[in-house]
Structure 1
Amino acid sequence: MSALVLIAIALILFLVAYKTYGTYLAKKFDLDDSRETPAHTFNDGVDYVPAKAPVLLGHHFASIAGAAPIIGPVTAAVFGWVPAFLWIVLGGIFLGAVHDFSSIVASVRHKGKSIGAIIDSTIGDTGKRLFNIFAWLTLVLIIAAFANVVAKTFVKVPEAGTSSLLFIAIAILYGYFVYRNNFPVVLGTIIGVALLIFAIWFGVQYPLVLSFNTWVALMLIYVVIASVVPVWILLQPRDYLNSFLLYAMLGGAVIGLFFYNPKIEFVAFAGFETDLGWMFPVLFVTIACGAISGFHSLVSSGTTSKQLNKESDAKLIGYGGMLIESTLAIIALITAIMLSQGDYAASLADGGPVALFSRGVGSFLETLGFSYNVGVTFTSLVVSAFALTTLDTATRLGRYIFQELFESKDKATGTTKKNIGTNPYFATIITVLAAGSLAVGNWKAIWPIFGSANQLLAAIALLAVSVWLAKIGKKNGFVKYPMYFMFAVTLSALAQLIYKNILGGKFVLSFVAIALFILAIVLAGFARKTLKQVSNNSGVSA
């Protein structure tokens, strides 16, 4: 069977879903462009800054993409291409895109605050604090993981390190001229993309060779700065310009895939149990980004909602952005399943999922006239650039949530009290120091717990939106039923991890898994109580 059939089916379904289900959700959310968004009402030139839809889509997509939608599908291919393909397509349309879209809208309707603040207003302060602690710890793990991944990539491919440093300088120039000197966006984009291409060439010609620890230190210094400077200086322009690299890689991969016309060599279904574990829940935890990921809710309600220019943009950025990521996940899956089982295992052993993906896309780009080595190098550069984007976004989100965790209201005036915990510099430094200690240590030991924690975030985000919709008198089935499924996946995965870690004598990891399990149950209990009260007051099932 030709892999072209898979990509064609996926693209058609994604386009149809965007036009139909995306429009249906927009009506359910009652999007209204006459209603000012927080980017305008709270415009502070630092965090709350209106951004044009293409620019914000670039930031949002760059932040949620990273390497995760590549690693997950390639790894989960071991279950066979049919279950992986179905989960990416159906999960992306009915769970992931709904999750991202609803997280943006809910945050916009709550002054651009995080999911934790939405839980506070719907479930209560205890629920908010539990969520924020959990979310902050998860972000610390993400920062540690990506700092480690980026540093190792730059050591192995120093060309990527040089280019990425130049990308940062180019973004600052773009932000200065376009956002502060009214330089035309189109012309600025053309020049900016041309400079990115030059940066890639320069990086290949003059690679910067540094040690792993040096790269980790540089990355942590960078994210501290990126977390506290105004978004127009670095975050918006960097993500926007870098998105063109990912679009180029995606477009080149799709077009090259049609010319290459790979055949599916992999088994369609490998069984319910593999070396990774049982298909349920392992498949649904392994393929997170590309189908549904809790980290996306933190991006959607953390940085994206604060930059949304008008409410109708939420459909393109939230629902559309997720479907673009699902397309990337399908391409990643194809690079794995066009190999035989034996070649797949050997390719994974030789560099891991990202290397396998880069070689596959390199083969596709070769049909367009690029040399195989150039295609592989370019793909590796793009993936590392977006891992760095996820790193700086996660740090900014960690800062937001840490500050929210220490916020308290003055009962007399209703204003937020200032304390050291709400200081942006203190919040950033504590977040980065915690992540840095893991980045240079043995953080991989808790990676399986992180996978489950990420999906638990998705379940809790859907839970928060479900309660919010019920409290304002709107039907919430389109988020409530995906929420039920994600809780079932997460709790099953955590139960398996608890059992395995206890048997293996890993009692610290067992304790963490048990804590997460209890957290999920407690939050679900709070939500159930709130929904029951809403139902009793309205006489309608919530």
Structure 2
Amino acid sequence: MNSLWLLVLGIILFFIAYVSYGGYLAKKWGVDPSRPTPSHTKYDNIDYVPTNAKVLLGHHFSSIAGAGPITGPILASIFGWLPVYLWIVIGSIFVGGVHDFGSLLASVRHEGKSIGEIIKVNVGKRGKALFNIFAWLTLVLVVAAFTDITATTFAFDASKPDLLTGARAGTASVLFIALAVAFGFAVYRKGASLTISTIVGVALLFFCIWIGYQLPFIKLSLNGWRVLLLIYIFAASVLPVWLLLQPRDYLNSFLLYAMLIGGVIGIILVHPTIQISAVKSFTIGQGAAAQYLFPMLFVTVACGAVSGFHSLVGSGTSSKQIDSEKDIKFVGYGAMLIEGLVAIVALISVAYVAKIDGSLSPAQKFAAGVAYFMSSFGIPEAVGKVFVTLAFSAFALTSLDTATRIGRYVFEEFFDTGGEKKSLLTNMYVATLFTVAASIVLVLYGYNKIWTIFGSANQLLSGLALLAITAWLAKNGKKTIMTVVPMVLMFCVTLSALLLSMKNYYLAKSWLLFVLALLLFILAIVLIIETVNTLKRATTAGKNINA
């Protein structure tokens, strides 16, 4: 089949969904541009900062995308391209988009507080505590998975000195971090024009890529990159958002958009034929390695259709920067649909690479495929591979530093009793240290071994976030059918996936991962029961009052 049709159909459906279903959600949920947002009412110039919608879209999209919408669809392609494609499109529109839009709006209406705080208000303190434990464990998995993915992408193998793609991308990425700090300082401290700074910043970004390609002077091993990345995310977690996180994500978005546009144009020109089957067997592999289309397809695609991590980004950083409620659909729903498009491009990239080398890693498959597509309009494949590898790592790295920062928020919230005397555990440096330290143990497993539990926990987190949004909507007399249906679907998928994961980890004697999966399963069940009971009590009380 000609893959061009998959791309065109996806773009058309996403555009229609943004205008129609996104507008429908905004109307039914009562989005009000006249309401003051937390970025104004709680302005502190650190976390609460009114931000231009285009800048915030770049930050939000860069943060939520990660390596998930690329790695997930490529790994899930073992089941065939058709089920992956259908879940990406349907999931992005009716599950992921609703989840992201709803969590961002709910957080803005709760003073920019996290999903945990929203649960506290609408369910209770115990519900918040359970959710925060679950969310923090999931964030530790995110940090571990994306640290290893990024380190693997950048790693230099001294035994293969001619293979410089990773070293080139790593060098450019480090230079880019310094550029982002300079950009943030110029715009937010020196009052430089955003337009002029953006033009100069993007030009210097591509200059960093050129230097990285020509002079790849940072040649670290896998463990060397792991250490460097852990140091970086610690710093990114505690520095003011305007100094590193926001400007890096904003400038990164241009890199990501350029890669996406290049890939789309390349696919239009090359229109490669799908090389993999539309649908393969329901079961892939045997024993502990067995993979079942249901439910593993859904948790493997992960961020390409829906991701609980997005709710933590939306309620952790983005909601504190929303300038007006009219920007919520643009940032929340819009960014999810863009991510769905990235997932489609990743899936199509397998169509080309599958006929060359099926042993490549997801990052290598994606870089090889998109670089080939871009060579159709004059970009050399070698340069394209470095560019796409850098863009891929940029996805992972922006999610990595954002996840660490949000992990810090959640950790602080859990130990914050609300009194004047603060516990040492609410200190941002201590909270960051615990978050980073916990992820170190899991990093050693490698992303291949933790991807399934990461996907399961991440998707289950989306179900819990939808549960929180549903509770808030119900208490405010709003329609909940838009959140209830995807919520039930995600609970069915993810709880089944966790049970299968526990079985596989038990057979493989991976005891730490088995215990972690069991803990996540129990926390989710208890929180679901707690929320349902709260909603029942609220409904009964409402009926008694009316009577």
**TM-score in terms of structure 2 length:** 0.94
Q: Percent identity between the aligned chains?
A: 53
Query: Do 2:353 and 2:368's aligned partners in 1 also have CA atoms closer than 8 Å?
Result: no
CA distance in 2, matches of 1:337, 1:521: 39
How far does residue 508 in structure 1 lie from its aligned partner after superposition?
4.2
- SS of residue in 1 equivalent to 2:303: coil
CA distance in 1, matches of 2:224, 2:120: 41
Q: Which residue of 1 aligns with 2:55?
A: 55
1:220 pairs with 2:224: no
Q: Which residue of 2 aligns with 1:368?
A: 377
Q: Which residue of 2 aligns with 1:421?
A: 425
How far does residue 539 in structure 1 lie from its aligned partner after superposition?
4.3
1:502–1:434: structure 2 CA closer, same or farther, 3 Å change rule? closer
Q: Which residue of 2 aligns with 1:249?
A: 259
How far does residue 338 in structure 1 lie from its aligned partner after superposition?
4.3
Query: Do 1:470 and 1:534's aligned partners in 2 also have CA atoms closer than 8 Å?
Result: no
1:286 pairs with 2:300: yes
Query: Do 2:67 and 2:146's aligned partners in 1 also have CA atoms closer than 8 Å?
Result: no
CA distance in 1, matches of 2:13, 2:446: 42
1:297 pairs with 2:306: no
Q: Which residue of 2 aligns with 1:210?
A: 220
1:209–1:506: structure 2 CA closer, same or farther, 3 Å change rule? closer
How far does residue 261 in structure 1 lie from its aligned partner after superposition?
1.4
After superposition, residues 457-496 of structure 1 pair within 5 angstroms as: 457-496=461-500
CA distance in 2, matches of 1:358, 1:332: 9
What are structure 1's unaligned runs of at least 5 residues? Answer: 411-415
1:320 pairs with 2:334: yes
Q: Deviations over 1:175-203 (max 9, x none)?
A: 11112222111111110000001000111
Q: Which residue of 2 aligns with 1:32?
A: 32
- SS of residue in 2 equivalent to 1:255: helix
Of the structure 1 ranges 276-285 and 396-405, higher mean CA displacement relative to structure 2 is found in: 276-285
How far does residue 337 in structure 1 lie from its aligned partner after superposition?
3.0
Query: Do 2:145 and 2:446's aligned partners in 1 also have CA atoms closer than 8 Å?
Result: no
What are structure 2's unaligned runs of at least 5 residues? Answer: 157-165
1:506–1:222: structure 2 CA closer, same or farther, 3 Å change rule? closer
1:448 pairs with 2:452: yes
How far does residue 324 in structure 1 lie from its aligned partner after superposition?
0.2
CA distance in 2, matches of 1:396, 1:460: 20
Q: Deviations over 1:278-329 (max 9, x none)?
A: 2110111101111001111111111111111111101011000000000000
CA distance in 1, matches of 2:70, 2:518: 29
Query: Do 1:407 and 1:417's aligned partners in 2 also have CA atoms closer than 8 Å?
Result: no
- SS of residue in 2 equivalent to 1:288: helix
1:447–1:14: structure 2 CA closer, same or farther, 3 Å change rule? closer
Query: Do 1:266 and 1:338's aligned partners in 2 also have CA atoms closer than 8 Å?
Result: no
How far does residue 40 in structure 1 lie from its aligned partner after superposition?
1.0
1:479–1:308: structure 2 CA closer, same or farther, 3 Å change rule? same
CA distance in 2, matches of 1:268, 1:46: 49
How far does residue 446 in structure 1 lie from its aligned partner after superposition?
4.0
1:229–1:126: structure 2 CA closer, same or farther, 3 Å change rule? same
Q: Which residue of 1 aligns with 2:344?
A: 330
Q: Which residue of 1 aligns with 2:89?
A: 89
- SS of residue in 1 equivalent to 2:242: coil
CA distance in 2, matches of 1:26, 1:63: 23
Query: Do 1:56 and 1:317's aligned partners in 2 also have CA atoms closer than 8 Å?
Result: yes
Aligned match for 1:306, one of 314, 320, 329: 320
1:193 pairs with 2:197: no
Of the structure 1 ranges 193-202 and 496-505, higher mean CA displacement relative to structure 2 is found in: 496-505
Residue identity in the other structure for 1:42:
K
Residue identity in the other structure for 2:294:
F
Q: Which residue of 2 aligns with 1:75?
A: 75
Residue identity in the other structure for 1:364:
F
CA distance in 2, matches of 1:211, 1:79: 33
Query: Do 2:353 and 2:365's aligned partners in 1 also have CA atoms closer than 8 Å?
Result: no
CA distance in 2, matches of 1:458, 1:384: 24
Q: Deviations over 1:436-459 (max 9, x none)?
A: 343346675444222211111111
Query: Do 1:228 and 1:425's aligned partners in 2 also have CA atoms closer than 8 Å?
Result: yes
- SS of residue in 1 equivalent to 2:151: helix
CA distance in 2, matches of 1:187, 1:151: 33
Residue identity in the other structure for 2:185:
Y
- SS of residue in 2 equivalent to 1:474: coil
RMSD: 1.7
- SS of residue in 1 equivalent to 2:304: coil
CA distance in 2, matches of 1:99, 1:303: 16
Q: Deviations over 1:133-173 (max 9, x none)?
A: 12112211221222222222222311112111111111111
Query: Do 1:60 and 1:300's aligned partners in 2 also have CA atoms closer than 8 Å?
Result: yes
**TM-score in terms of structure 1 length:** 0.94
Query: Do 1:179 and 1:232's aligned partners in 2 also have CA atoms closer than 8 Å?
Result: yes
- SS of residue in 2 equivalent to 1:489: helix
How far does residue 507 in structure 1 lie from its aligned partner after superposition?
4.4
1:520 pairs with 2:524: yes
Aligned match for 1:267, one of 240, 263, 277: 277
CA distance in 2, matches of 1:501, 1:426: 32
Query: Do 2:130 and 2:523's aligned partners in 1 also have CA atoms closer than 8 Å?
Result: yes
Q: Deviations over 1:485-505 (max 9, x none)?
A: 000001111121223333444
1:357 pairs with 2:366: yes
1:250–1:225: structure 2 CA closer, same or farther, 3 Å change rule? same
Structure 1 runs (4+) greater than 6 angstroms displaced: none
Of the structure 1 ranges 286-295 and 501-510, higher mean CA displacement relative to structure 2 is found in: 501-510
